[in-house]
Amino acid sequence: MIELIPAIDIIDGKCVRLTQGDYDTKKVYNEDPLEVAKMFEDHGIRRLHVVDLDGARAGHIINYRVLERIANRTALIIDFGGGLKKSADLEIAFESGAQMVTGGSIAVKDPDVFTSWIEQFGSERIILGADAKDGKIAVSGWEETTGEELLPFITSYHKKGITKVISTDISRDGMLGGPAIEMYKEIRQAIPGVYVIASGGVSSVEDIEKLHEADVPAVIFGKAIYEGRIKMNDLIKYNEK
């Protein structure tokens, strides 16, 4: 059964969503991310994806206090990302209650540092963020597209021990137009040992069902819940493992 991972994106300590990573599209959905996290947990959710959007823009961890509150007051397994550039940032994230962290831009811009994290903290605690635009890796809050091809990029880190990858087709993020199922199939076929976490474009329970049928192991979703397109009660069957 596909693993469900709701997302909580944070700006100024509030639960927000952006469209295609554009900060000018910010929409606040709840003043208190903990309230949202508890709602997810009450409906059987076990995993949570928390993104520090302030941190992503600043280049260092900022909203760790929000992470700490969620970790201390729920039993959710949390992965945390956004602006993690130094080992000290990871240490703060782990001390604040994250079980895993996600690194994307750093894996492209400073592979030696990212590789050192795998060695220092263990590959089971590090998730590779592999976000793509037209098949090329995008970084820095998606404001910059690189020349790195998606599949070779993931393959190179899989060889270094990475087992979990969050991959987003940027053109679909926040657009509620459906996930990039073919892209995930390609990743699964090319690198079968990687636990692929789909992200971006999920607009309905049907989209989650399609990912499940395509044998995608996990999915991150957010806007569809916040906009009322997916009801938590519709997801109960996926949480009954």
Q: Where in the sequence numbering do the catalytic residues fall?
A: 9, 131
The residue behind tokens 């590090």 is 126
**Around Cβ 205, how many Cβ atoms within 10 Å?**
16
Triad 6, 75, 203: Cα angle to 5°? 10
Nearest to 24 by CA among 32, 16, 36: 16
Exposure b/e, 224-236, CB count within 10 A at least 16 = b? bbbeebbebeebe
Q: CB neighbours of 222 closer than 8 A, spacing ≥ 6?
A: 6, 7, 8, 9, 17
Q: From CA 63, how far away is CA 73, in angstroms rounded? A: 16
For residue 165 the two structure tokens come to: 């990858």
Q: From CA 4, how far away is CA 235, in angstroms rounded? A: 8
Do 55 and 86 meet the contact criterion of CB atoms below 8 Å apart? no
